[in-house]
Structure 1
Amino acid sequence: MDSVRPPKRRRGRPPANTAVISREAVLAAGLRVLERDGLDALTMRKVAEELGVQAASLYWHVRDKDELLDLLADELLAGADLRSLVDPADWRAGAAAILREMRRHLLARRDSARLLAGRFSAGPNRLRSMEAVLGVLRSAGLGPHDTAYACYFLMVTVIGFVANEQAPLSAQVRNGMPAREFLDGLRDRLAGLPAEEYPHTVALAAEVTGPDLARRFDFAVDRMLDGIETLRGERG
Structure 2
Amino acid sequence: MDLSAERRGTLPWGTLDRDTIVAAALELARTDGLDGVSIRKVADAVGSSRMALYRHVHDKQELLDLVADEISRLSADLPVDEDAPWEVRLRAIATSMRVHLKENPAFAEFIVVHSANGPGGVRMAELITRAVVATGLPPDRVAHHCLVFSDIVLGRIHRELAGDPTAAARNARLLEAAQHVPEATAVRRHDSELRQVHADAVFEAEVDMVIAAISAESARARTA
Selected match of 1:191 from 170, 178, 182 = 178
Length-normalised TM-score, structure 1: 0.73
3-state secondary structure, aligned to 1:84 = coil
Instruction: Give me the whole-angstrom Cα distance separating, in 2, the residues matched to 1:217 and 1:87.
Output: 25
How many angstroms does 1:207 deviate by? Answer: 4.4
After superposition, residues 147-186 of structure 1 pair within 5 angstroms as 147-167=142-162, 182=169, 185-186=172-173
**Structure-2 change in CA distance of 1:57 and 1:201 (3 Å):** farther
Q: Is the 8 A contact 2:175 2:187 kept in 1?
A: no
What does residue 3 of structure 1 align with?
Answer: none
What does residue 231 of structure 1 align with?
Answer: 217
Amino acid at match of 1:216: V
Instruction: Give me the whole-angstrom Cα distance separating, in 1, the residues matched to 2:160 and 2:143.
Output: 26
Q: Is the 8 A contact 2:69 2:119 kept in 1?
A: yes
Instruction: Give me the whole-angstrom Cα distance separating, in 2, the residues matched to 1:47 and 1:41.
Output: 9
Length-normalised TM-score, structure 2: 0.76
Q: Is the 8 A contact 1:34 1:42 kept in 2?
A: yes
Selected match of 2:80 from 70, 80, 84 = 84
Seq. identity, %: 28
How many angstroms does 1:111 deviate by? Answer: 2.6
Report whether the alignment pairs 1:218 with 2:214. Answer: no
**Structure-2 change in CA distance of 1:232 and 1:193 (3 Å):** farther
Instruction: Give me the whole-angstrom Cα distance separating, in 2, the residues matched to 1:60 and 1:194.
Output: 65
Amino acid at match of 2:20: A
- Greater percentage in helix: 2
Selected match of 1:62 from 39, 57, 65 = 57
Q: Is the 8 A contact 2:172 2:195 kept in 1?
A: no
Q: Is the 8 A contact 1:39 1:115 kept in 2?
A: no
Instruction: Give me the whole-angstrom Cα distance separating, in 2, the residues matched to 1:137 and 1:203.
Output: 40
Segments of 5+ residues of structure 2 without an aligned counterpart are 1-11
Q: Is the 8 A contact 1:187 1:209 kept in 2?
A: no
Report whether the alignment pairs 1:110 with 2:105. Answer: yes
CA RMSD of aligned residues (A): 3.1
Q: Deviations over 1:21-41 (max 9, x none)?
A: 322222111111011212243
Q: Is the 8 A contact 2:175 2:188 kept in 1?
A: no
How many angstroms does 1:99 deviate by? Answer: 1.9
Segments of 5+ residues of structure 1 without an aligned counterpart are 1-17, 171-178
Amino acid at match of 1:228: I
How many residues are aligned here?
Answer: 208
3-state secondary structure, aligned to 2:29 = helix
Q: Is the 8 A contact 2:79 2:92 kept in 1?
A: no
